[in-house]
Copies of this chain bind each other. A is one copy, B any other.
Amino acid sequence: MTVTQQPSFNPGKGAGEPVGVAILGHGTVGSEVLRLMGEYSDALAHRIGGPLELKGVAVSDLSKPREGVDRELLTDDALSLINRDDVDIVVEVIGGIEYPRELVLAALRAGKSVVTANKALVAAHADELADAADAANVDLYFEAAVAAAIPVVGMLRRSLAGDNILRISGIVNGTTNFILDAMESTGASYDDALAEATRLGYAEADPTADVEGHDAASKAAILASLGFHTRVKFDDVSCEGISKVTAEDIEAARDAGYVIKLLAICERVTDKDGVESVASRVHPTLVPVDHPLASVNQSYNAIFVEAEAAGRLMFYGNGAGGAPTASAVLGDLVGAARNKVHGGRAPGENTYANLPIADLGDVRTRYHIDMEVEDRTGVLAELSAIFATHDISLKTVRQEEAGDHARLIVVTHSAREADLAATVEDLKKAPAVKSVDSVLRLI
Contacts and interface: CB of A to CB of B under 8 A. Distances in A.
Instruction: Please indicate which of the listed interface residues A43, A161, A315, A334 has the most CB atoms of chain B within 10 Å of its own CB.
Output: A161
A341 to B, nearest CB: 7
A14 B8 contact: yes
A24 interface: no
Contact of A36 (B309, B324, B333): B309
Nearest to A51: B1
Copies of this chain per assembly: 2
Contacts of A14: 8
Contact of A159 (B308, B328, B343): B328
A162 B334 contact: yes
Interface string A335-347: 1001101111101
Interface residues of A, number: 79
A342 B32 contact: no
A4 B47 CA distance: 9
A344 B343 contact: yes
A179 to B, nearest CB: 21
B5 A49 contact: yes
Interface stretch (A143-151, A252-260, A432-440): A143-151
A8 B327 CA distance: 26
Interface string A217-231: 000000000000100
A234 interface: no
A158 B162 contact: no
Contacts of A16: 3, 5
Contacts of A331: 158-163
Contacts of A317: 310-314
B311 A162 contact: no
A260 B162 CA distance: 34
Given A32-B309, A313-B316, A8 B341 contact: yes
A40 B326 contact: no
B310 A313 contact: no
A164 interface: yes
B309 A326 contact: yes
Given A45-B3, A46-B3, A345 B345 contact: no
The 7 closest A-B pairs by CB, nearest first: A344-B344, A162-B330, A151-B159, A149-B310, A9-B343, A5-B49, A309-B327
10 contacts: A3-B45, A148-B310, A154-B158, A155-B155, A158-B335, A309-B323, A311-B318, A311-B323, A313-B317, A314-B317
